[in-house]
A and B are shown apart, each in its own frame.
Chain A
Amino acid sequence: MIKIFLPEINSKFYNNIRHLSDNLLEVHSYAPIDIYKIHNRISANAYIFDSSYVSSEIVQFINEYSELPTKTFIYHRNSHLNKDMIRYIKKSNHIISHNLFDEFSKYKNTIQLPEHIINEKIFYRTNFKERIDREVYLLDNDKEIPKYISDRLLPNKKDSKTILFNNSSIPHAQNLGILTETDKAKILNEYKYYVCDEHAEYMTEAFSCGCVILDKNFSEIQFDNSDIQTFSQFVKKIL
């Protein structure tokens, strides 16, 4: 049995790894405070920390425990990339998104998060019938509604077909609320179109669920499905 520790953060990476728990893998998710206490309790084989919260206690922990059999990782979300951390915390591996990886590929302790990565246990096509004629946009990483989306919302566009999800800090009548990963899979099976955000974060999932994928100009994208990796493959690889 392999045990993984994750911080309690609502983002695609952590939410999908959390769903990987099975007979061989146990995922524990807590706030990364009192990490030594957590280690005494669960003694995980791998610890994944978030670059937005690496305290001096966590740095000390990484220095003490980053040798086999325990592995430590720091995941850098697109919005929280910390260059100094990659340079100076050498005992930990750093997981970096594909679009930011080139700059840091010279460092030995960096791992690229693949562009097309999916949790195949959650995101798969279940609806082969008629879909609701709406465009789905996920606000996960946005601080405000992007211009190209707001132009297509009420009251700017009368016969608007766009609906928004998953950001409680952006008030809009067409923002229908927070979704879990399993809810997202249901949504992507229910509606016809998926509109890409800046990082096209859920493009792979939308393709797997059978959505028509639209770019910022609302024209259809042909998705290349040749290099899709799964989260379970990725976790096995890094462990």
Chain B
Amino acid sequence: MKNDLGFLCLDLKQTVEHNTLMSIIRSIIDNNPFNQVCVFNHSSSRTGYENVPVLPISHCKFFEGDLFLFDILSLSMSKNFPGIKTKYLYYPSIPWTPPNNYYMMWKDLLKDSDLKIITTDTVLQQIYKTCWDIDTKNIENFSYEGITNAIQ
């Protein structure tokens, strides 16, 4: 891993998905001891954090490295964060659906040279390519291997 890595996860919950996410982040930390890896978050209802550093979202603005995102709110929030080198958006769907689909807003968000989109199937990959001329990475399972392959 070249750069430090932050995960912007606005709302951490005690769900299966977030348990998997935390264990993946733990594995990334274990396998990259010379990099800083942490989670930025706004609210949390978790009881345990698997020894993953969790920082308030305000710290994200001053983070230097790559940022992993899971929703459009985080993407728009982090648009002008100065220290972010590459943003990875894991989005298993398409965000520009009606009624809130103002083309220029989506173009501004998605056609960003620092943004890499990670999709979950080849159909989505094709839609992104057709609609926005964006090459996306595809990971079928949200796993340690999938994430590390996507961010390399």
Cα of A178 to Cα of B100 in the assembled complex, Å: 9
**With an 8 A cutoff between CB atoms, is B102 at the interface?**
yes
**With an 8 A cutoff between CB atoms, is A165 at the interface?**
yes
Q: Write the B97-137 contact mask toward A (1 if CB under 8 angstroms, else 0).
A: 11101111110000000000000000100110011110000
A interface residues, Cβ below 8 angstroms from B: 132, 134, 154-155, 158, 160-161, 163, 165, 168-171, 173-179, 183, 187
Determine whether the beta carbon of A178 is less than 8 Å from that of B127: no
Known A-B contacts A154-B126, A173-B131, A174-B127; the reply to A179 vs B98 at CB < 8 A is: no
Inter-chain contacts of B133 with A (CB < 8 A): 132, 134
Determine whether the beta carbon of A169 is less than 8 Å from that of B98: yes
Cα of A161 to Cα of B132 in the assembled complex, Å: 11
Cα of A183 to Cα of B102 in the assembled complex, Å: 10
Inter-chain contacts of A187 with B (CB < 8 A): 103
Inter-chain contacts of B130 with A (CB < 8 A): 134, 154, 160-161, 163, 174
- Extra contacts, 8 of them, besides A134-B130, A154-B123 (Cβ < 8 A), are A134-B133, A155-B123, A163-B131, A169-B99, A173-B127, A176-B131, A178-B102, A187-B103
- Give the interface size class of chain B: 10 to 19
With beta carbons under 8 angstroms apart, the residue of B99, B101, B126 that contacts A176 is B101
Determine whether the beta carbon of B127 is less than 8 Å from that of A168: no
Inter-chain contacts of A183 with B (CB < 8 A): 103-104
Most chain B C-beta atoms within 10 Å of own C-beta, residue among A155, A160, A176? A176
Interface CB pairs A-B, < 8 A, 29: A132-B133, A134-B130, A134-B133, A154-B126, A154-B130, A158-B126, A160-B130, A161-B130, A163-B130, A163-B131, A168-B98, A168-B99, A171-B97, A171-B98, A173-B94, A173-B127, A174-B127, A176-B96, A176-B101, A176-B103, A176-B132, A177-B96, A177-B98, A177-B105, A178-B103, A179-B103, A179-B104, A183-B103, A183-B104
B interface residues, Cβ below 8 angstroms from A: 94, 96-99, 101-106, 123, 126-127, 130-133
Chain B interface main SS type: helix
Cα of A160 to Cα of B132 in the assembled complex, Å: 12
Q: Please list the 4 inter-chain residue pairs (A to B) with the smallest Cβ-Cβ separation, ordered nearest first.
A: A177-B101, A177-B103, A168-B98, A168-B99
Inter-chain contacts of A155 with B (CB < 8 A): 123
Determine whether the beta carbon of B106 is less than 8 Å from that of A177: yes
**What is the CB-to-nearest-CB distance from B120 to chain A, in angstroms, rounded to a whole number?**
15
Most chain A C-beta atoms within 10 Å of own C-beta, residue among B97, B130, B132, B133? B130
**What is the CB-to-nearest-CB distance from B125 to chain A, in angstroms, rounded to a whole number?**
12
Cα of A179 to Cα of B106 in the assembled complex, Å: 11
Inter-chain contacts of B127 with A (CB < 8 A): 154, 173-174
Most chain B C-beta atoms within 10 Å of own C-beta, residue among A132, A171, A173? A173
Cα of A134 to Cα of B130 in the assembled complex, Å: 8
Chain B residue nearest in CB terms to A157: B130
Cα of A161 to Cα of B131 in the assembled complex, Å: 8
Chain A residue nearest in CB terms to B103: A177
Chain B residue nearest in CB terms to A190: B107
**What is the CB-to-nearest-CB distance from B133 to chain A, in angstroms, rounded to a whole number?**
6
With beta carbons under 8 angstroms apart, the residue of A161, A169, A171, A176 that contacts B106 is A176
